A and B are shown apart, each in its own frame.
Chain A
């Protein structure tokens, strides 16, 4: 893999220069401890038992034989577990997923639902007893099939309206010179982060302490306090190192069951999820069925845009994969309709995963644009430039920076787009047909209110405390650079402590908002501290601490369309005799605000693009109709891209500082995946002349779709 940068962002200090991770040495030497491996005296181990039926009722939990097994301390289940409070709206604006609020009743709403926790002296004893625990069920018929015409589909307002509509769609379609009316599908996809969910709960001096792996300690602490009806000040959640989150590491069954057990036994209890349990207990991306209708004038200008996305959710929690939302940002049309609908089925609760909405939505919309470009005989980039909106297509609000065209121009130049023959199925190299494709990317740029404390120590160093989460992104390092610049000192004088809810409320590592949200709070506190430090003044032994809270500042932001953008390019090779598709190179050029640390930023953007390759070609969780469970739910059966699938992937950016952000940040966590799968799929069409509208583009699907036009 090679990368190179044009690096035009103005460099005034540490921000904008490449720095290796401040905790990198600890991580590569193993000194960094993860949640499942931090020692505690008197630790007991819990092992979850999950349902083997997809719908029904628990008739009995045969605890007696298991309690007689060696080392077993207790078995928690709906018959003896404490009642939890789940009737509340959490800090993310949604009620808790009952999958996390374990053992509250005898209902089983999906396969892999948590039904009991066996606690023992060792993990091996707990596991053996958990596997021996007999649970009997009254089985009920289940429905897991998502179909485009499912009668129970309904629109849902998630973090955006369910439906938007303007103009007369049918009239504009009828008046269009070119119409594309196509259906796309994406499969069930899973986060698949390396580190499994793990938590240790203990009561210590009247406080509940949970050592966890999560994307927001103050978020998880708040949820636990509400569920267990505890005063918020009683709960402390720590999460120092996190081996990947991707949207999955929030409040889950492992923390809640660990707290229950630690309370019942009055000793520390650890619960670690197995890889298989993660596939049913920690969220995933719902499959989607998306219909896109585009109507355009002969020159490609859109008259009509209709994007309807159908996803599924569980019967216990309403979550919508808002795939049609991307059309509200990207393209305008005289008649414009978008709808995000769901069906409730007997499946695990989906949740946020790697660019929720935009990732699958951009596959459908950007592939449809490519089909329209073919119909109109207009270059795919030119088609997009002709349809660049001046204002938010639905909101009517101005954009706070929309440098998509710059991304396409720079990307086209570096990718060699100008030399491209638009005709499909024309390039052959041995057994491989070659093709190139492009797609646009966008992801919302937001900020969450956060608090931070910055201390000037007596020894001339500085300590930053903020309940941020570094889920592998390099956030700890980025905040070190941000603080150093705000304090006008070198980064080696700054120590950043994160991952502790006792540091006060802070936004989550999610929605591509983490670094921006925390950097804002750190900048505010550090800036004020710098002014307080008198030249030649003496810092007392306890140091001088300044706190910040960005709630008011973020609340005062003018309403605008705020997004990161990008242009994705892919070259693929397709062996039409075997159906194998291989990506040969990818280029992504992004306009994503000021880049704090080019080294780790590139890692995130390239990582996102690799997610996109994986989404386009590999990832697919297959649900077994008869059992309602997953087929092969492990990392051998669920394929993610390997190194060999990822050749030359290059990410770079254009200058795009956000004028409304103190540091100029927008957010880079997720925009890298957006449009990547569409670019690959469009390249497969260009190689073969066949449109693949269902992901992943597996060899069998390429073979069944027939050969190329050559």
Chain B
């Protein structure tokens, strides 16, 4: 029987100390992904440090008018929080678009950011996978990849990040806080996930042993007029094949501010900076929305069976921005 050590941490320094520098140890949040991966053998931790009892389950205002979300806040509590619903509605929509009620009651914000790809090669121990077994190869490039990456991927890995929540957080410039034995640190979400390159097994810029303690949302006025749209292959309980988190501030028919991020197109939630540059100061029309999407998707490198994602994302951007513009005009 495969045995592992289980410890429950009571405070943050204690959790960090319990994990230590052991590469075989893992923090356990809601367990909605890690436990599944342990069952299939993709993860075989020698020690689990349960962080759910840590005092990180609050959402609090920051001095500059943003919100700090504790790492163990559940997805359900995050989505229901009044400040999130009113000031960052796309975040609530993104969280509610994911998983099921039961899973959202368990899943935590910190764990959501660290969940692993659902690529079917990654989760199948009988298959090669550079992310799971570095150097073994990526069968998705020539195999099944209709829901794989079109942006920022490499020949070494074309898997997509599964998070919906992370897409909205990325659009709103969230910053990840963490704790290590050497003290606290911060990483903007934009730099949190590492480029795929030839090291797809290295997914984040977190230092070894770091524990995510929270995510801070800066004040983003435009986020109050935001939306998340997720497209999937059934109406519920499926990962996205493409999603958009968008916020738009329109005045006098001109875009004053815009935020745009894509999901299910890359190894990380994809901030669409190129599109935002086109949008800012442009007329709020479908023509310019399409031009913005095209500017971002110019970098797309689709595989033989996922070229539809370029069309899908373009259509989604135009549809969601058009809806936001119409609402602004009312």
- Hey, which bits of chain A sit against chain B, CB under 8 A? 52, 70-71, 122, 124-125, 128, 131, 431, 577-580, 582, 617-618, 622, 624-627, 629, 631-632, 636-637, 639, 641-645, 698-700, 703-704
Determine whether B236 belongs to the interface, using a CB cutoff of 8 Å to chain A: yes
Q: In the complex, which of the residues A52, A122, A642, A643 contacts B1, with contact meaning CB atoms closer than 8 Å?
A: A122
Question: A578-B315, A639-B238 are contacts. A128–B233 as well, Cβ < 8 Å?
Answer: no
For B307, the chain A residues whose CB sits under 8 A away are: 704
A124 to B308, CA, bound (A): 44
Query: Could you jot down 26 A-B contacts, CB within 8 Å?
Result: A52-B126, A124-B1, A128-B1, A577-B316, A578-B231, A578-B315, A618-B234, A624-B139, A624-B144, A627-B127, A631-B121, A631-B124, A632-B118, A632-B123, A639-B233, A639-B234, A642-B237, A644-B234, A644-B237, A645-B234, A645-B235, A699-B233, A699-B312, A700-B312, A703-B312, A704-B307
Q: Which residue of B lies closest to A641 (CB)?
A: B234
CB pair A700 B146 closer than 8 Å: yes
Q: What is the size category of the interface that chain B forms with chain A? A: 20 to 34
Question: A131-B41, A431-B319, A627-B139 are contacts. A617–B234 as well, Cβ < 8 Å?
Answer: yes
CB pair B311 A627 closer than 8 Å: no
11 further A-B pairs in the complex, CB-CB below 8 A; given A629-B127, A639-B238, A644-B235: A71-B1, A577-B315, A577-B316, A631-B121, A631-B124, A636-B118, A637-B118, A642-B235, A642-B236, A644-B234, A700-B309
CB pair B118 A627 closer than 8 Å: no
For B231, the chain A residues whose CB sits under 8 A away are: 578-580, 699
Which residues 301-321 of B have a CB within 8 angstroms of A? Answer: 306-309, 311-312, 315-316, 318-319
Per DSSP, chain B at the interface is: loop
A645 to B312, CA, bound (A): 21
Q: In the complex, which of the residues A578, A624, A642, A643 contacts B312, with contact meaning CB atoms closer than 8 Å?
A: A578
A71 to B316, CA, bound (A): 56
CB pair B308 A700 closer than 8 Å: yes
Question: A577-B319, A645-B235 are contacts. A703–B123 as well, Cβ < 8 Å?
Answer: no
Q: In the complex, which of the residues A577, A578, A642 contacts B234, with contact meaning CB atoms closer than 8 Å?
A: A642
> How many pairs, one residue from A and one from B, have CB atoms within 8 Å of each other in the complex?
93
Determine whether B168 belongs to the interface, using a CB cutoff of 8 Å to chain A: no
Determine whether B120 belongs to the interface, using a CB cutoff of 8 Å to chain A: yes
A700 to B308, CA, bound (A): 6
Determine whether B2 belongs to the interface, using a CB cutoff of 8 Å to chain A: yes
Which residues 210-254 of B have a CB within 8 angstroms of A? Answer: 231, 233-238, 241-242
For B238, the chain A residues whose CB sits under 8 A away are: 639, 642
For A700, the chain B residues whose CB sits under 8 A away are: 146, 241, 306, 308-309, 312
CB pair B120 A631 closer than 8 Å: yes
The 3 lowest CB-CB distance pairs between A and B, nearest first, are A632-B120, A644-B236, A644-B235
- Hey, which bits of chain B sit against chain A, CB under 8 A? 1-2, 41, 118, 120-121, 123-124, 126-127, 139, 142-144, 146, 231, 233-238, 241-242, 306-309, 311-312, 315-316, 318-319
A70 to B144, CA, bound (A): 39
Q: Which residue of A lies closest to B121 (CB)?
A: A631
Q: In the complex, which of the residues A624, A636, A644, A698 contacts B143, with contact meaning CB atoms closer than 8 Å?
A: A624
A34 to B181, CA, bound (A): 50
For A124, the chain B residues whose CB sits under 8 A away are: 1-2
Q: How many whole Å from B33's CB to the nearest CB in chain A?
A: 11
CB pair A703 B235 closer than 8 Å: no
For B126, the chain A residues whose CB sits under 8 A away are: 52, 627, 629
Question: A577-B316, A700-B146 are contacts. A70–B1 as well, Cβ < 8 Å?
Answer: yes
Q: How many whole Å from B49's CB to the nearest CB in chain A?
A: 22
For A639, the chain B residues whose CB sits under 8 A away are: 233-234, 238
For B139, the chain A residues whose CB sits under 8 A away are: 624, 626-627
Q: Which residue of A lies closest to B315 (CB)?
A: A577
Q: Which residue of A lies closest to B307 (CB)?
A: A704
A642 to B99, CA, bound (A): 12
Q: How many whole Å from A688's CB to the nearest CB in chain B?
A: 15
For B127, the chain A residues whose CB sits under 8 A away are: 624, 627, 629
Q: How many whole Å from A544's CB to the nearest CB in chain B?
A: 52
Q: How many whole Å from A53's CB to the nearest CB in chain B?
A: 9
Interface centre among B1, B143, B236 (most CB of A within 10 A): B1
